[in-house]
Amino acid sequence: MRRIFLVILMAFFSSQTAFAAPPAPYVAGPNKVQLHGVATLTLPAGDIYVSKDLGKKIMRQMGNYMDDGFMGLVIPKDKTLPWFVSLEYNDSGFVRDNDSKDIHPDKILQQIRESTKEDNEQRKEDGTPQVQIVGWIEPPHYDAGRHHLIWSLEAHDLGVKIDPKTDGVNYETYALGRYGYISLDLVTFKDRVDQDKKVVTTLLSNLTYNPGKRYKDFNAKTDKIAEYGLLALIGGIAAKKIGLIALFMAKSAKAVMVAAAAGGAYIKRRLGRKKDGDIA
């Protein structure tokens, strides 16, 4: 069964060299997915989880190289839905949220723009595309009860014509835990973000840290504390991710279509023969 899925995926990618090894498992919802012993994701019906190894291969085909914190992808069962969600874990340590009162979107946006302006000077010297920060698609906000952080920044290559039907968007969500945080990064098109963001907010709500690794399990006497707080997860992380965001933007049209195609082919060839939730 895995060979069938491998052949399907290879048909959608121009390069087959990345798939020399058998693909990693995938899971169709509704089902529970164990994320590397850290957390459990309750996968809704209509979603497919692609595990770390196979997910990395897919991301490489899009020009995105994921680090060791990458936990896999969630793609749609319906091939007409152009989105995917990248899951990553950062073992930064316990992120204190006592600066949540200092989340002022306008101020943060201005800081990001100033930082990007400085970085653009270096990009100009390097001959790489400069970046324009358009504004918030979703202003940053924090749910103190659930320890969830959400924000989305619109960024483009400077001078490129904006087209909501083909421009990609990264919609960022974070779940804080005892030893770090999990980010769920939705990639979709700008004109679909309002409807597709429901996908990732549902996944965020369906994500639970395993006992002993929850935010409330923090032990101040023994646990590592992150060197930054929520503001850095917005402004600082956003500034560092501008290059990655721009890369996702540039690749997003291909990315979401590849994800949808892979998911659609999987459903056409496999789910018609097996029950949702089965693992090949």
- Which pLDDT band holds residue 217 (cuts at 50, 70, 90)? very high
Q: What is the pLDDT of residues 225-267, one digit of tens each?
A: 999 899 988 866 554 544 444 444 444 444 444 544 544 444 3
What pTM was estimated for this model as a whole? 0.78
Q: What is the pLDDT of residues 50-93, one digit of tens each?
A: 989 888 888 887 777 888 999 999 999 888 888 999 999 999 99
- Which pLDDT band holds residue 275 (cuts at 50, 70, 90)? very low
Rounded Cα distance, 54 and 5, in Å: 11
- Residue 169, pLDDT score: 87
Neighbouring residues of 82: CB distance < 8 A, sequence distance ≥ 6: 188, 189, 192, 256, 257, 259, 260
Angle, alpha carbons 11-13-16 (nearest 5°):
85
Q: Is 140 helix (H, G, I), strand (E, B) or coil?
A: strand
The mean pLDDT value for 199-222 works out to: 98
Q: What is the pLDDT of residues 181-195, one digit of tens each?
A: 999 999 988 899 999
Rounded Cα distance, 244 and 250, in Å: 10
Rounded Cα distance, 137 and 134, in Å: 9
The closest alpha carbon to 181, from 217, 148, 211, 158, belongs to: 148
Is the peptide bond preceding residue 76 cis, with omega within 30 degrees of 0?
Answer: no
Average pLDDT, the chain: 79
| Residues 87, 168, 132, 160, Cα dihedral to 10° | 150
- Which pLDDT band holds residue 179 (cuts at 50, 70, 90)? very high
The mean pLDDT value for 214-221 works out to: 98
Which domains are seen in the chain, by residue range? 2-271 (3.40.1000.10)
